[in-house]
Structure formats: structure tokens, C-alpha cells
Amino acid sequence: MIAEAGLAALWLAAALAALQLVLGAVGIREARQDMLAAVRPVAVVQALLTLLAFALLIVLFLRVDLSVALVAANDHSAKPWLYRFAGAWGNHEGSMLMWVTILAVAGAAVALLERRLEQRTLIATLAAQAAIGLGFYAFLLFASNPFERLDPAPPEGQGLNPLLQDPGLAFHPPTLYIGYVGLSVAFSFAVGALVARDVGSAFARAMRPWVLAAWIMLTLGITAGSYWAYYELGWGGWWFWDPVENASLMPWLAATALLHSVTVLATRDGLRAWTVMLAVVAFSMSMVGTFLVRSGILTSVHAFAVDPRRGSFILALLAIYIGGALALFAARVGTVREGSRFDPVSREGALVINNLLLTAILGIVLVGTLYPLMAESLSGEKLSVGAPYFNAAAGPLALILMATMAIGPLLRWRRDELRTLASRIVLPLLLTGLALFAVMQLAPGIPILPLLGLTFAAGVAAASIAPLWKRNLRRTPLFTWGMVLAHLGVAVSVAGMASESAFTKEHLIAAKVGETTRIGPYSLRFDAVEPITGPNWTAIEGTVTATRGNALFRLNPQVRTFWSPPTETNEAAIRTVFDGQLYVVLGRSDDQGRWQLRMWWKPFVTLIWAGGAMIALGGALALLGRLRRERRAVERETWA
Amino acid sequence: MKRLILWTPLVVFVLFLIVFAVGIKKPEGRIISSHMIGKPLPRFALEPGMAAQPGLASIDFRDGTPKLLNVFASWCVPCVAEAPQLMQLKQAGATIEAVAIRDRPEDITDFLKRYGNPYQRIGSDPTSSLQIALGSSGVPETFVIDGKGFIRHQHIGDIRPENVPELLAELEKAR
């Protein structure tokens, strides 16, 4: 019954999405107030029904109802409850249901919370959101029904990929999906504004919090995903330029560009067409990402469901939505009046450079991700594009971007003098030089990219604090604090990346119990190997004692064997200390008492994720600041 | 002029779309071609996989007739799925030799009793060492070996009904 109720809720939600689209479209065309007024409540009810369907799926997973095909394929009664819970979205159908749920909830949130936008624009936005929803409801109901029954029900489920049995899974995909799908709001806003011919600073101010919120979640999702891959895969790396990683990076790059251009539009009423374009591109990248992951068109460690029919379905949706939005853009944006102009040397000028660089990096990542596909369809050749391409192509642009990021916030809006700018950047510039000198002295022979990374990180760190200089800190608006923190976070993260790539020590040995070895500042003793058992796995666990001066601690890397489905995973033992991480992985035995031990000493690697968290927190501060100011503005209007 | 520029994003997107569509419509383009094709079989001599049939050595592939070399295991589920196709190949006149990966004699006997025995010889590879030397990454896989012991074709994964004529054609080509 639960499964049928879920399916019914989903069908009803799809019908309401269709209603929402028709009411909105006809209401706008014929200016029917009664129809326009109905759109908001319909959007809310549609979201509630989808939420109900999603909740019912979670209940099915928690109860391990094996008469449902999806549950039988992905659940297991011996699995801890958290993973039964997370298992609901750890598969194709469930994750698509989550996708649609977030889409509907985001639409309902716009319907409930958005107060400042002109009614026609708002309704057009909600209609656009319903149109997107409709396509993905169809995809769920016709090509990926999560509630399909299985008769007869098997006696036991087929478990969950043990790699995914990790607390990280419970939070990583939802965070990322909220970010991905949150960008749909920006997309719908752009379509709504084009339909209602209402592209201006009021529209930008309304769209900005939504973009910020989605961007924060994307930042968190990418940061968490990177850390998850780092400790769970046991390969010692934190970014692999894997197609699925790129699929999450591309919307982030577009959203970051959008975040900055929407500020220009909101504050100075410039970059109108460009901002609309970016809003379309950002969510398009989310959909392309979903398509890449869900169609199995690119081979990746993440690609679970390889089903060309589903791929064709999503491809058709992409064609309709992105193609439609771009056609609308081309047809309508010419009628958008040009916004206000500005001098090349100005805050706007720096933000334009920021946008161009981010877009160029986005292009590089997109081409690198899709190149294997293009090469295959043109010449039938199989190849993959790896880190060397991405680092060499995107690295230098990222460094220029950092320089822009250092200078931009110190420029005035509209027009600035290079001479007065010089006095503001002299201190960060000095620090950059000092950092260059210090790094070259302390680490002679360091490769050029990490060298510049560390140097620029120091400069950006100094420059990002500079906007607070000589300001009354208590009266500095919250969103300025947010910008400072986010930019500082970028510097911290880049410093971590540079340090990791330049100073990591790696060591692979075949050790007998009792042997000692050295890595970085540590001396490691291989003490024991013992079998241990867990709730649904058994493992071989190594004990390694690490000493450094007087500090002494134990590391326990494991090789886990899960029995449903039979899989081996590597649980790296990671110890974080103030200046880096010690990372130990247990490998195979040679049956003669020797065990492979792979060790890394990674100085300051944690800065990568700490920086990511700072960026997200900065975004949260900015969001809070903007919302507070908005509320005050609304209150003023109601009083006036 | 400006109007034309506005249409460029759509044009670029349509180009991408075509690439996607071509990529998705070509499932056969996903076959990974083997690096082993054109190379001689590595030298090996395997113990019999079960008592009733002889073991397998590289020398068995040099008698002038092309053969199929099937890499399988009794614990492998897709191997069950491909068993009828192997019988079909045998009936069509193909000689099929087998390597059993990480298997036990009694399990092999059981497996063949249940799903049919298309094999002439069965070599046992308890450590996967021949499998690795063959450049095979999983079970089942099927190689076409010509009469001089050179690898002519590698089929990765189970043999589906539609692959049977393909393999027969490859055998014919190897003559």
C-alpha cells in the first residue's frame, strides 16, 4: 500500500505541475487575475505531494519492504538504519525522486517567500519551474519508477555498494542536489524575467538570495564530496577530474560567475543580458551534470545506472529546456534595454574579468569532460582526459582569477583611478613578494604552479582582509564580512592545494610485523595485523604506531570485506595534526608475512576543505546580510 | 550583427546536443578493443580443472585450427547466462577450450552438469595468473585464437545470442 500511495502522490504532483504551468501561461497571456492567484497555492500543494512520495520511499527503505523492486535491489535488513535511510537516494530512481522533490520544494519556497517581485514575473517564474518539473516527473513515472513492485518478493535484499556505506553518503548527495536543483530557481527567474520583459535591478535583487543559497550548498557538497573521495577511496588524492566531479564543478563555476554578475545587476543595473545568460547556463550545467551521471555516457567511478533509454530521455529534456531557454534568450534579450555603463577600471570592470575567467575555466572543464565523447563519436577512438590537461589549462587562469579577486574588492564602483588604487594594494603586493621570497628560500626547486599558488594565496589573504581596513567593524554590513571570509577561504584552500601538491611525501613498502619506517616527520612501526568484525563486514586491521618527538599515536588501517554484495573496501587510517595529515592504507599480503603499506604525509592538506567550509560560511553570512537588508527595505515600504 | 551573436549560445548548445546524441546512440562504440590482439598467447600449461577432462597448455592452440578460449568460473553468474550460447557455438562446429578462474574441481563438475559442457579441455587457473597475462579483467571473457596460437579477437563479458554469429565470423576469419 505504501508504494502505491507514493506512486499516486507522484502522479497527482505531476498533474498539479501541469496545472501550474497552464494556469500561469494562460493567466499571463489573458491577464486573468483569478488564474494568476491560483498559481502560488498549486505550487505549494505540488511540493507537499512530492515530499510525501519521497517520505514514503524512505519509509519503504527503513522497513526493508522487499516487495518493492528498488528496495530489493538496494537495501538489506542487516544494514545499519542510517544506511537504510540514505539508501533511499543511493540509487538511480531514488536520487531522481530526490531531484524532483527539491525542484518542487524550491518552487514552493519561491511561491511562499518571494514578496518583492512583480506579480507577472513571479508567475512566469513559477510556470517555468513547473515546466521543468513536468519533464522530470515524466522521466520518473515513465522511465525510472521508484515504486515498482517485485513479485515474488525475494527473501533478502541485495545490499548497497559498501563504498557508499559511509556517513558521508547520508549528507553529500542531498547537499549537492540542493545546490544543483536550487539553481533551477535562477533559471526559472531568468525565463520569467524574459517572458515578462522585466530584466533589471529589482529582478536581480530578488534572484540573488536564491543563487547564493544554491551556491552555498554546491560549495558544501563539492567540499564534502572531495573529502569523502579522499578518505574513502584510499587513493590519497582529493580531486581526480573525474567526469562526475567535473559535473558538480561546472555548475559551481557558472553559479560563482552568476553570483558576481547578479551583484553588478542589483547594485549598478549593468550586465543585464549577461546575467540572464549565466542564470540559464548555471542550471543547464546542473542538468548536463545529471545527464552525464545518469546516462552512463561517460565512464566514471560514480556511474551506476547505465541505461541508454534513460539517457535518451534526459537528453530530450535537456534539448527542450536548455534549447528553449536559449531560444527565448536570443529572441527576447535584444529587447532588454542596455543597463548602465561603467569604466574599465572599476569594481564592475574587475567583476567582468572575474566572469570571463570563470567562464573560460568552465569552458576548459566542459571541453575536457566531453572531449572523450567527441573523439569517440568522430573517430571511434577511446581516450580519457586527465589531470595534466586540466591543471595546465585551468591552473594559470585560476591564478589570474586570484589576482582579480585580490584587486576587485578594493576598487570603487563605476569608476576608479589607477593611482589611488596603487596605494590600496601596496601592502598586499608587498606581502605577495615576501611570500614568493620566503617560499623560494624554504622550498628550493618547488614547481612553478604550487609556488605561484602559495604566493598568490598569501597576497589574496592579505587583500581579502583589506576591505575591512579603516572601517568601523561593528557597522560593516554582514555581506561584506561574508565576502571577506569567502575570499579568505579561497586563499586558504589554494594554499592547501599548493602545499599538498608540492610537499606530499609518498611511501610504499612491503613490511613485516615489527618493521619500522620513516615518512615526513614521523617514524612508523608496523605492530600487528588482526582480523576484526563489524555489523555487516569482516576486516583485516593493521596497527601502526607513529611517533614524532614525544607525540605517539596509533593508526588502524583496514581492508573490509562486505558480504552483501561481496566487495572489498579500503579504510584508510588518517590522523590529522596541526601541520598536516598522516594517511596510511593497508594493502595485500604476499602470503609470506609481508603486507603492503602505503603511506602519505600531506602537509597542510586539511586547509583545502577548511577553505571550502570558509567559502560556504562566507556565502551564508552574505545571504543572511542580504536577507536582513531586504526585510528592512520591505518594512520601510510597508510603512511608507 | 548583434542579433546573430545572441543566437550563438543556442547554436553551440545544438552542436553539443548532436555529440551527445551520437554518443548515446552508439552502444557498440563502447567496446574496449584489446591490446592483446595480434599477439601470441603467453606460454602456459595448466592442470586439469576437473578429473574427467584434460588440462590446457598453450601448445594445444598450435594445431592449425582456430579455437575459442573461454575464461569462466563456476561462481560467476553471467557465465550461467552465456552457457546456452556456448553450447550453440559448439553445435555450430567451434572448438572451445576453457580456463577456470579460482575454482574447485567439484564446483566445476557441478556447474557443467547443470548448464552443459561445451568444452574440450579445461585448464585450472587458481591464482588468475593466466587471466592477467591474457589481459582479461573479468569473467566471462572469450578469445578467438588462430591455428598458430595468436589472439585474433577478444569478447569482454557474457556472450549474448546476438554475439554468436559475430564469434563464428571471427573464427572463420582466423582460418
Reported as a single tens digit per residue, the pLDDT across A520-568 is 899 999 998 888 888 778 888 999 999 998 888 999 999 888 776 677 7
C-beta atoms of B19 and A374 within 8 A: yes
Q: Could you give the strand order of the β-sheet that contains A573-577, starting from the edge strand earlier in sequence? A: A505-512, A594-603, A580-589, A573-577
- To the nearest whole number, what is the mean pLDDT of chain A? 87
* B27 shares contact with chain A (CB less than 8 Å): yes
pLDDT at B104: 86
Tell which A residues from 237 to 276 touch B, by Cβ distance under 8 Å.
273
The residue type found at B77 is V
- Tell me the CATH number for domain B35-173: 3.40.30.10
How many C-beta neighbours within 10 Å does residue B122 have?
27
The domain limits of chain A are 1-155, 431-504+609-640, 505-603
Q: What is the pLDDT of residue A52?
A: 97
- Chain A hits for B13, CB-CB cut-off 8 Å, are 284, 322-323, 326
Q: Cα angle at A430 between A427 and A436, to 5 degrees?
A: 145
Write the residue in A322, A327, A377 that is nearest to B23 by C-beta. Answer: A377
- Averaged pLDDT for residues A350-375: 89
**Do residue B24 and residue A295 have CB atoms under 8 angstroms apart?**
yes
Nearest to B9 among A318, A329, A370 (CB): A329
User: Helices then strands (H, E): number in chain B?
Assistant: 5, 7
Residue A99: per-residue pLDDT: 92
Query: Looking at the complex, does the CB of residue B126 fall below 8 Å from at least one CB of chain A?
Result: no
Q: What is the pLDDT of residues A3-16, one digit of tens each?
A: 999 999 999 999 99
| CA distances for A582 relative to A25, A545, A570, A579, angstroms | 59, 12, 16, 10
Closest Cα partner for A453 from A519, A391, A409? Answer: A391
Q: What is the mean pLDDT of residues A288-307?
A: 63
CB-based contact, A380 to chain B, within 8 Å: yes
Predicted confidence band at A304 (pLDDT cuts at 50, 70, 90)?
Answer: very low
pTM of the model: 0.80
Interface contact flag, A318 B17, Cβ < 8 Å: yes
The residue type found at A474 is R
Complex-level ipTM: 0.75
A-chain residue closest to B29, CA distance: A380
Please check whether residue B175 touches A, CB under 8 A.
no
**Cβ pair A326:B10 closer than 8 A:** yes
Mean pLDDT value across chain B = 84
User: Does the structure show a pLDDT above 50 at A303?
Assistant: no
A and B: number of Cβ contacts within 8 A: 59
Asked if B124 contacts B48 with a C-beta cutoff of 8 angstroms, the reply is yes
Whether the CA torsion B148, B149, B155, B157 is positive or negative: it is positive
Distance CA A469, CA A455 (A): 22
Which residues from A are below 8 Å from B27, CB to CB? 308
Q: What is the pLDDT of residues B109-150, one digit of tens each?
A: 988 988 889 999 999 988 888 888 887 777 888 999 988 888
CB contact under 8 A, A323 and B26: no
Helix or strand or coil: residue B32?
A: coil
pLDDT band at A638 (very low <50, low <70, confident <90, very high): low
Domain ranges of chain B: 35-173
**What mean pLDDT do residues A395-410 have?**
91
Angle subtended by helix axes A478-503 and A607-639, to nearest 10: 170
Q: Please name the member of B19, B24, B33 whose beta carbon is closest to the beta carbon of A312.
A: B24
Q: Residue A154 gets which letter from DSSP?
A: P
Contact criterion met (CB < 8 Å) for A373 and B20: yes
The pLDDT value given to residue A156: 80
Those residues whose C-beta lies under 8 Å from the C-beta of residue A219, and which sit 6 or more positions away, are: A179, A252, A612, A615, A616, A619
Among A294, A374, A588, which would you mutate to test the B interface (most chain B Cβ atoms within 10 Å of its Cβ)? A374
CA-wise closest residue to A250 among A277, A218, A273: A218
Q: Give the distance from residue A137's alpha carbon to the nearest chain B alpha carbon, in angstroms.
A: 22
Percent of chain A with pLDDT over 90: 45
A155 close contact with B: CB closer than 8 A = no
> Does residue A312 sit at the B interface (CB-CB below 8 Å)?
yes
* Bond before A565 cis per omega within 30 degrees: yes
